[in-house]
Amino acid sequence: MAIRNLIDFGDVSREDWDALYAEACRIMDAPEAYAEACKGKISCNLFYETSTRTNFSFQTAMLRLGGSVFGFANPSSSSVAKGESLKDTVKMVSGYADVIVIRHPREGAALAASLYSDVPVINAGDGSHMHPTQTTADLTTILRLHGTVDGLAVGICGDLRNGRTVHSLIKALAKFQNVRFFLISPRELALPDYMRHFMQKHNLPFVEVTGLEAVIPQLDVLYMTRIQQERFDNPLDYERNKGVYVLTNSILQRGREKLLVMHPLPRVDEIADDVDNDPRAVYFQQGRFGMFARMALLKDLAHQPRIPQRFPLSDEGPICRNPNCITQTELYLPPLTKETEAGLCCAYCDKPIHPSAP
Ligand code: NCD
């Protein structure tokens, strides 16, 4: 692949995705042929935030390729608890590993890590920003089970403001033709501005609605998400929105015969258990597809050459005003910006940089 790090799915070209998907399919069709594809390679999983599936999926992906894995699933068991900076941890472990997988509660943490790592970095979720490898699972599921992404009507339901899997998925679907979006959320959990600007810039047709039942008959894919309790500053805001969508068997009866019901998981209550036995419910298969997609990704990135990085340092302090941006806590980070459809933005978290930000 042309990319060295996987930080944002927007950086992945359509050609790169097609090659990755083709490799994921070859692996899932004959996994034993890949049992030594990463022999001698080691991945380091730095999970600063809780995870079940993503961490296990990356671990099993590397193990199935014949490689090894080390890392932490809880930073309190590492030197992070002693106050070690992200850059020092990353620089250190990049001396031990061939690839780093990082999940962090702060937006932009994976990009920050990549500045100091001598080996490729994979973003396994940075706050409510992005989660590109979940997207590799999502696209693989749609392509394997539907045959195509082009022309589909995709409903995305739940917490679109805080759901990082949603943001990465939209960036990926922009690479296909004529995808139509139904964005289903409470108004206060609607898509963040930087993503709405992205959709407008890429001419992605979308409607924003608050009700699921009325639109379900029009969908080819229904991507459910949970309300992200841990991202709410005010617990009352969560209380007001929790349980707002519950897909039940009776609602699903209104959906098309070939509808795919997807979910990155974990679910809380947004999909009733009585949906699980419907053949259209593919969220557990989606998890398994994700492991094969991650095998294809690790196989490529773990073989890339080691490129020693200097320590980019700054004493300017953060210019981004997003309180959840990684630049707010890792104060040495250079204040990187980029020009986007929404104007000048923080390159770490994508939030606009202007006096009235965040
Ligand atoms: C998602 C995540 O962590 O963003 N889970 C996952 O990686 N499969 C979705 C979520 O936590 O709601």
123, 265, 268, 269, best to mutate for ligand 1 pocket (most atoms within 8 Å of CB): 265
For ligand 1, atom 11: residue with the closest CA: 266
> Percentage of the chain surpassing pLDDT 90?
92
Least confident of 23-37, 187-201, 307-321: 307-321
Could you tell me the pLDDT band of residue 358, with boundaries at 50, 70 and 90? very low
Using the atom order of ligand 1, give the atom closest to the CA of residue 103.
3
Decide if 43 contacts 11 (C-beta within 8 A).
no
54, 102, 241, 263, best to mutate for ligand 1 pocket (most atoms within 8 Å of CB): 54
**What is the rounded CA–CA span in Å between residue 253 and residue 62?**
39
* Residues, the chain: 358
Residue-wise pLDDT for 278-292, tens only, equals 999 999 999 999 999
Closest CA to 336 of 358, 313, 355, 356: 313
> What integer pLDDT is reported at residue 340 of this predicted model?
84
Cis peptide before 217 (omega within 30 of 0): no
101, 103, 131, best to mutate for ligand 1 pocket (most atoms within 8 Å of CB): 131
Residue-wise pLDDT for 18-58, tens only, equals 999 999 999 999 999 999 999 999 999 999 999 999 999 99
For ligand 1, atom 8: residue with the closest CA: 264
Nearest 5°: phi and psi at 134?
-65, -35
> What integer pLDDT is reported at residue 357 of this predicted model?
44
In this structure, the number of other CB atoms found within 10 A of the CB of residue 233 comes to 8
* Pocket-forming residues, ligand 1, beta carbon under 6 Å: 53-54, 125, 131, 134, 164-165, 225-226, 228, 264-265
Could you tell me the pLDDT band of residue 355, with boundaries at 50, 70 and 90? low
Decide if 190 contacts 183 (C-beta within 8 A).
yes
